[in-house]
Amino acid sequence: MKIFFATCIEKPNGTADDCLLRDQLVSRGIDAEFKIWTDADVVWNEAQHVLIRSTWDYHRQLPDFLSWAKSVESVRTLNNPFQLIKWNASKRYLLDLH
């Protein structure tokens, strides 16, 4: 099994927490790699699962990020479902927390 961790250019090797998770998966025989979500050369359907982890720059490119997430979900299991990503990206849900 192969898993891609989607990250951003500022964190090409993920965060310390991402590395802990990746190391645990690798120790169990799962191929887990970091991939920058804006890298046009990544073939997202090479992995069985894509986890959004450290895509900290998405807010600067929100339409592109949402388009990317939707396209990934169309070819692979996106473990952060597109509808949830879209809902979370708007931050309007914060109004419900008051």
Report pLDDT digits (tens) over 29-39.
999 999 999 99
- Give dist(CA 95, CA 98) in Å, integer: 6
Non-local (6+) Cβ contacts of 90 within 8 A are none
The per-residue pLDDT for 94 is: 82
Residue 52 identity (one-letter amino acid): I
- For the segment 34-85, what is each residue's pLDDT rounded down to a tens digit? 999 999 999 999 999 999 999 999 999 999 999 999 999 999 889 988 999 9
Q: What is the spatial distance between Cα 53 and Cα 29, in angstroms, rounded to a whole number? A: 20
Q: How many CB atoms lie within 10 A of CB 14?
A: 20
Residue range 16-25, pLDDT digits in tens: 999 999 999 9
